[in-house]
Amino acid sequence: MRTFIALAANPDYPTLEDFGKDPIWISIIKAVGIFVLLMLGVLFGVWFERKLISRMQHRYGPNRAGKFGLLQSVADGLKMALKEDIFPRTVDKVLYFLSPVIIAVPAFLAFSIVPFGPMVTMFGERTPLQLTDLPVAVLLVLALASIGVYGIVLAGWASRSPYAVLGGLRSAAQVVSYEIAMALSFVAVFLVAGTLSTSEIVRAQSVGGTVSLFGMEFSTPSWFVIQLIPSFLIYVICMLGETNRVPFDLPEGEGELVGGFHTEYSSSLKFAMFMLAEYVNIFTVSALAITLFFGGWQAPWPISLWDGANTGYWPFLWFLLKMVIVFSFFVWVRASLPRIRYDQLMAFGWKVLIPLNLGWILLFATFRALRIDEGNRTLIMTMLAFVVLACFLIYMRFDIVAQRRKREQEAEVAAEFEELGNAPEAGGFPVPPLDLPHYHGVQRKEVSSGTH
Amino acid sequence: MELYVPILVLAVLAAGFAIFSVSIAPFTGPKRWNRAKLDAYECGIDPTPQPVGGGRFPLKYMITAMLFIVFDIEIIFLYPWAVAFDKLGLFGLVEMVLFIVTVLVAYAYVWRRKGLDWD
Amino acid sequence: MGETITFWVLAVVSVSAALGLVFSRKAVYSALMLGAVMLSLAVLYAVQDAPFLAAVQIIVYTGAVMMLFLFVLMLVGVDSSDSLVETIRGQRLWAMIAGLGFAVLVALAVGNLVVAPPTGLAGATQGAGGNVPAIAELIFTRHVFAFEVASALLITAALAAMVLAHRERSRPKPTQKVLARARFLSDHPSPLPGPGTYARNNAVDMPALLPDGSISELSVNRVIARHEAEEGGLPEDPKLAEAIRQAVEEESK
């Protein structure tokens, strides 16, 4: 039945009951810890991204400020602080000032429910290595993401310049579209874990379940990424779209929108806030990917053979390692893929990701119902067959239309080709006459201009 | 209640930091007044005069926002359903299929009328 | 204790935000104030041990609905004054009836509290094993009809958005191929001279110069030309002024 009923009552794995018992000073220590971690993470992340992408492009990347250029982001931050703070004449002063704050605060808050490790002893207090947890933890992340969108829209609107307004609206539309697909990709995780709280989702990934197939018992792997691979793939795409990263970085498409919603935030610490929020958002989606699909802070396979791997402060290290790997994936994607067009972006989000996701959820739920509801197996099978048949029919319909369109197009091209072949000037294109002398072969040997 | 206190602590920290850095920005940097610098950036030409009320933009975005609400509410229903699915069993599956199919009717209509096409 | 403090702080915040909503002059500010009120509501729900409701309040109201408001406000430019003429006949009457109905509902809900002692949210959700499963159990068993009807409501919303905001193309969107063909059939198949070609200024409002030093009329920006001709702000350079005048004449032809 429920996966975590089968779980051994391991006291190292926190549950919801373990939260809300910290004295206030422990909470303050944890909050400061997360804050410092994120700030250092951004500094290190910017440097790491630039270094890694340069290596991928056969460059050295930043290597002047400090050893290996490690102080590059510090230098950049200082530069931003020392630049002139501009309030353009046209802007709406209050909102222009507030929107960097509105975008940065929710970004930080989302990290409050990320589990970094198991129960640890912190200055004599036994406490989970996680700021807090809620029965609706994952919903909290979505809620904070939707507040963050305000920052984007308001920054665009308050700037009162066409580029910024268009950029703001565009990125808001993009973020909300991909938020839907992202939220849908979590549903399968909740189906398996039976909870929305992040610590319990990690706990649910500690032991694999068993599947009996044809009378044999197979143990399923414990990390959700294996059994929920479609959800995970969709989530990966959505996390690129949600954080406005390449190949979905249209809000900042330099060629078309200049800087997007932060065009008017030309320099100074206000722009630094946007950059900070962008990187913190990347960390948030990476942390969510790890928590929901990669077993959270639990040690990966070869390390997990060691008994002490999942106790004490060690898991924090595994978590950070996983973060570095996911972040490197972001950089790798940035180095490899070109930006896609805005209409393609929206069409992909609405027409591909969402229906695929819904279909997968229903399919997965049906299989789950098959496992828990032994009595109604035939009924469920019939329903499944029905749904699959319906999907197939819909697909056939689309396929027939697509085939017809393709044939029509081919015929059109052929007709045009014929028309142009008969009369070269028919299409209006300036085509050189086909009897130009050099079309009939070279009559004299040409002399090259070089000396060789 | 106790579960939210740490969030509040982090919120105070983050908001304090953000407001602090945004507010000190005018004091840490130099001030060199320049008319062109204070114009809205439009690649070098004079900024477009702002019409009263901020001008009009295509209502395209409204359809996106509306569809966002529709699917958001669907997700809000899906989450508790997923959490309690093992208890609800077959009955839960059937009602969710009905719900999703009904919502997909609206979705298909919007798709068919080319509301999802962006140009 | 904590709850009381939260309540009084949020009371001040949300009431002042609500006042700001009514009194602020810019529509976008009003919308933001409404967002602040809804956020305070969400926090109140959270403090009252209703985390799911709080999250939903933020996601659906503060996030989605307010975003719709903002989009619409920004898109239609609301600073223009609204007319006070009733567009729907008898809307005040119906509004009053709806208001009365809502008041009755609230009265009934509060009255319910007087008649029977409250169980408390924690007690109510205990049996199902938490807040979210308890809600799920209620929605998907007792209130299943309301749940299914909600989907019909969602259809209505989507259809309304399509009817109000969608305009179907009367002719197909020109493809790149069609555009290319049209360009070749026109007088100048190649792109217009870019700004700054042989010019001394790299800006859109400076026309391009041809190799002989004369101004390329093709490159005079029509919008700027019309603006300058109308405002009487023709540039001092006689060649440029002439080019702009010609461009405007051509435009008006």
Candidates A103, A180, A235: best to mutate against B (most CBs of B within 10 A) is A180
Who's near C184: CB < 8 A, 6+ residues apart? A427, A428, A429, A430
pLDDT exceeds 90 at position B15: yes
In this structure, of A219-223, A336-340, C22-26, C93-97, the range with the lowest mean pLDDT score is A219-223
Is A452 part of any domain? no
- Do residues C10 and C40 lie in contact, with contact meaning Cβ atoms separated by under 8 Å? yes
C209: β partners? C215
Res A451: pLDDT: 55
- Residues in A closer than 8 angstroms to B113, CB to CB, are none
Nearest CB neighbour to C55, from listed A92, A139, A429: A139
Average pLDDT for residues C154-167, to the nearest whole number? 84
Task: Give the distance from residue B24's alpha carbon to the nearest chain C alpha carbon, in angstroms.
Answer: 25
List of chain A residues whose C-beta atoms are within 8 Å of the C-beta of residue C54: 136
C104 interfacial to chain B (CB closer than 8 Å): no
Give the nearest partner residue to A351 out of B24, B25, B116, using CB atoms.
Answer: B116
Is residue C224's pLDDT more than 80?
A: no
Does any domain span residue A450? no
Touching C: which chains, 3+ CB pairs < 8 A?
A, B
Contact of A280 with A222, CB cutoff 8 Å: no
For residue A339, give the nearest of A251, A435, A410 by alpha carbon.
Answer: A251
Whether B117 is in a domain gets the answer: no
Contact of A334 with A57, CB cutoff 8 Å: no
- DSSP secondary structure string for all residues of A398-452: HHHHHHHHHHHHHHHHHHHHHHHHH-TTTT---PPPTT-GGGG--SSPPPPSS--
Radius of gyration of chain A (CA): 28
Nearest CA in chain C to B78: C136
C66: confidence class by pLDDT, cuts 50, 70, 90: confident
The residue among C190 and A129 whose pLDDT is bigger is: A129
Q: Which residues in chain A touch residue B40, judged by CB atoms under 8 angstroms apart?
A: 88-90, 159-162, 164, 264
| Cβ within 8 Å of residue A186, ≥6 positions away | A138, A231, A235, A292, B79
Neighbours of A368 (CB within 10 A): 18
Task: Give the one of B19, B40, B118 whose C-beta lies nearest to A347's C-beta.
Answer: B118
Domain CATH for B94:
1.20.58.1610
- For residue A92, the chain C residues in CB contact (below 8 A) are 26
Closest Cα in chain B, distance from residue A20 (Å): 5
How many CA atoms does the CB half-sphere of A253 hold within 13 Å? 19
- pLDDT tens for chain A, residues 1 to 452: 334 444 556 778 888 888 888 888 999 999 999 999 999 999 999 999 999 999 999 999 898 888 888 999 999 888 888 888 888 887 888 889 999 999 999 999 999 999 998 988 888 888 898 999 998 999 999 999 989 888 888 888 888 877 888 888 888 888 888 999 999 999 999 999 888 999 999 988 887 666 666 666 666 668 888 888 999 999 999 999 988 888 888 777 666 667 778 888 877 888 899 999 999 999 999 999 999 999 888 888 777 778 788 888 889 999 999 999 999 999 999 999 988 888 888 889 999 999 999 989 988 888 888 877 677 778 778 878 887 888 888 888 888 999 999 999 899 888 877 777 676 555 556 666 555 555 555 566 656 665 55
Of C109, B12, C125, residue with least CA distance to A101: B12
Q: What are phi and psi of A35, to 5 degrees?
A: -60, -50
pLDDT at A4: 41
Residue A227 lies in a domain: yes
The pLDDT assigned to A5 comes to 43
Task: Quote the number of domains for chain B.
Answer: 1
Of B54, B88, B110, the CB nearest to C158: B110
- Candidates B86, B88, B80, B92; CA nearest to A372 is B86
Statement: residue C79 has pLDDT above 60: no
Q: Do B70 and C80 touch (CB under 8 A)?
A: no
Using only C-alpha atoms, what is the Rg of chain B?
25
Whether B60 is covered by a domain: the verdict is yes
Q: Percent of chain C scored above 70 by pLDDT?
A: 85
A153: left (phi over 0), alpha (psi -120 to 50) or beta: alpha
Name the neighbours of B, counting chains with at least 3 Cβ pairs within 8 A.
A, C
Distance CA B49, CA A59 (A): 44
Q: Indicate the fold that domain C1-75 takes in CATH.
A: Four Helix Bundle (Hemerythrin (Met), subunit A) (1.20.120)
- A358:B65 CB<8 A: no
- Cβ pair A143:C59 closer than 8 A: yes
Pick C55's closest partner by Cβ from A16, A140, A149: A140
Average model confidence (pLDDT) across chain B:
83
Write the DSSP assignment of chain C as a string of letters: -HHHHHHHHHHHHHHHHHHHHHH-SSHHHHHHHHHHHHHHHHHHHHHTT-HHHHHHIIIIIIIIIHHHHHHHHHHHTTTSPPP-S-SSTTHHHHHHHHHHHHHHHHHHHHHHHHHS----HHHHHHTTTSHHHHHHHIIIIITHHHHHHHHHHHHHHHHHHHHHH----SSPPPPHHHHHHHHHHSS--SPPPPTTTT-SS-STTSPPBPTTS-B-GGGS-HHHHHHHHHHT---S-HHHHHHHHHHHHHHH-
Average pLDDT over residues C14-38: 88
**Domain assignment of residue B118, yes or no:** no
pLDDT for res A215? 61
- Residue range of the domain that includes B87: 2-112
Token code pair at residue A76: 């950049």
Which ranges in chain C are annotated with CATH 1.20.120.1200?
1-75
A414 within some domain? no
- Look up the domain containing A209 and give its range: 3-352
* Residue B90 belongs to some domain of the structure: yes
> Which chain A residue's Cα is nearest to B84?
A194
Q: Which residues of B touch C78 (CB under 8 A)?
A: 53
- pLDDT digit string (tens) for A333-373? 999 998 888 888 888 999 999 999 998 998 888 888 887 76
Q: How many domains does chain A have?
A: 1
pLDDT at residue A6 in the model: 46
Q: Residues for chain A: how many in total? A: 452
